[in-house]
Amino acid sequence: MSDLSTDPQAPASAPSAPAAPARRRWRLNSRSPIMITFYALILGLVVGALVIITTTPAVLDSWRGIFHSGTGIFRALKVTWDNVGAAYRSMFNGAVVNPANLWHSITTGQGWEATLTPLSETLTYATPLIITSLGVGIAFQTGLFNIGANGQAVLGGVTGAVVGSMVHVPMIVHLPLTLACGFAGGALAGLVPGFLKAYTGAHEVIVTIMFNYVIYAFLLFSVLSTPFQQPGQQNDISRTMDSSAQLHPLFGAASGLRVNYGIVVAALAVAFAWWFLERSSMGFDFRVTGANPAAAKASGINAKVVIILVFVISGGLSGLAGVVQVASTTHYIDGGFLIGSAGIGFTAITVALLGRNKPGGIVWASLLFAALGVGGRAMQGTTGIPLDLASVIQSAIVLFVATPVLVKEIFRLRAAPVVKLELATKGWGA
């Protein structure tokens, strides 16, 4: 009954509908998105298990032999359990913490580096993802699709790396300047599509996608041009950023943990995004525009200004993510920076959707995606199951989140998702 409110005869539309039940139903509703995400996560892991089963030779062999002996079926089940279990265990160990290492560290006080590395890696990967996804989420909440986050991140990385490597000032000036320039680079990359959308009506999806390619080409051009190219290099590698422009590891370089001050930048970005969307007047305009453009216009909100500002802010956050990525890990960029399947700008679209475009949700979704990626790499190392399994699980989760009807059917949740299903679900629903 979740969507009964779309029915013209729904309780809410009747002036004297009993208030209490309507209120209760609404509460159930508001909880369900979180539950759906949780169920989607479980289903994603189930799909991943099915992929492991059908692609691992040892498991397939054991199933082939179930009729050879009376105990074949039990052996097959055990082999399946062992393989799936080993895969997910190594994923968990690689992304969160290895219980054995943890025990060792606690009892002996030694090896904390190895124990904390998985968590540190996950946080390191999550940091730029959170920042980009916030930008994409803000655009989504305004009803605009920013598919150009990746290009904006690249341009942010380039401008940040230029300032970081070619301007030489003390850290107190240099680091903020570098980050600001990264933001400005991304904002510039967002400004152009925003401007085109606002004044010519060009579709932002097309323009931002195409703009990605322009920026990729510019990236290659910049790292091959004399001022920015690493001196004495023929390859597409840039100068290295000054130490004063870098985001250093939180626990010092000696700790061996890569988790860095980028996480502080991300936390500030989350705080900003929350204030912006939930508390600021401009964010209110943005949300009104996203939820009902006609009402926004009638209320005196200037759509052109909103569109341009959305792309500036969204692009700026992506650019910030780009410069955080450079300043915290490699400290230089090359011609392949953020391009291809590693493009966080594209992952950010899914992460924003998974986090329902809310800053809090985006943090959790980014951590989940980063953990799956980092854990997938560990799994590949220990079990030989390809990293792509992590992508399969990520995709499956998003697919299930996007089809709540399916999830509700699978888990036999009471809520009838659409009015049309009212009759079909009557047997156990109404």
Please, what is the minimum distance in Å from the beta carbon of residue 107 to another protein? Answer: 50
Residue 69 found at the interface with another protein (CB under 8 A): no
Which residue of 99, 292, 336, 395 would you call a contact of another protein, by CB under 8 A? 292
**Lookup result for tokens 């200004």:** 305
Which residue of 173, 217, 268, 295 would you call a contact of another protein, by CB under 8 A? 295
Please, what is the minimum distance in Å from the beta carbon of residue 286 to another protein? Answer: 11
How many chain residues interact with another protein (CB under 8 A)?
Answer: 44
Q: Which residues contact 194 (CB under 8 A, 6 or more apart)?
A: 204, 307, 308, 309, 310, 311, 312, 315
Which residue of 75, 248, 287, 356 would you call a contact of another protein, by CB under 8 A? 287
Indicate the DSSP class of residue 68.
T
Q: Which residues contact 339 (CB under 8 A, 6 or more apart)?
A: 150, 154, 216, 219
* Phi, then psi, of 158 in degrees rounded to 5: -65, -50
Which residue of 3, 11, 356, 403 would you call a contact of another protein, by CB under 8 A? 11
Tokens of 308: 């341009």
Tell me how far apart the alpha carbons of residues 168 and 254 are, in angstroms, rounded to a whole number. Answer: 25
Tell me how far apart the alpha carbons of residues 84 and 52 are, in angstroms, rounded to a whole number. Answer: 7
Q: Which amino acid is at 321?
A: A
Using the rule CB under 8 A, give the single segment among 4-12, 232-240, 329-337, 372-380 that binds another protein: 4-12
Please, what is the minimum distance in Å from the beta carbon of residue 423 to another protein? Answer: 7
Residue 424 found at the interface with another protein (CB under 8 A): no
Which residue of 23, 27, 412, 420 would you call a contact of another protein, by CB under 8 A? 23
Between the two ends of the chain, the Cα-to-Cα distance in Å is 9
Please, what is the minimum distance in Å from the beta carbon of residue 242 to another protein? Answer: 35
Residue 12 found at the interface with another protein (CB under 8 A): yes
Torsion of the alpha carbons at 154, 156, 157 and 159, rounded to the nearest 10: 120
Which residue of 202, 220, 288, 410 would you call a contact of another protein, by CB under 8 A? 288
- Cβ distance to another protein smaller for residue 68 or 412: 412
- Cβ distance to another protein smaller for residue 77 or 430: 430
Residues numbered 252 to 281 that lie near another protein (CB under 8 A) are 275, 279-281
Tell me how far apart the alpha carbons of residues 327 and 348 are, in angstroms, rounded to a whole number. Answer: 19
Residue 414 found at the interface with another protein (CB under 8 A): no
- Give the number of other CB atoms < 10 A from CB of residue 270: 18
Residue 299 found at the interface with another protein (CB under 8 A): yes
Residue 4 found at the interface with another protein (CB under 8 A): yes
For helices 72-95 and 359-383, the axis angle rounded to 10 degrees is 120
Binding site for another protein (CB under 8 A): 1, 4-5, 7-19, 21-23, 25-26, 275, 279-282, 284-285, 287-288, 291-292, 294-302, 422-423, 430
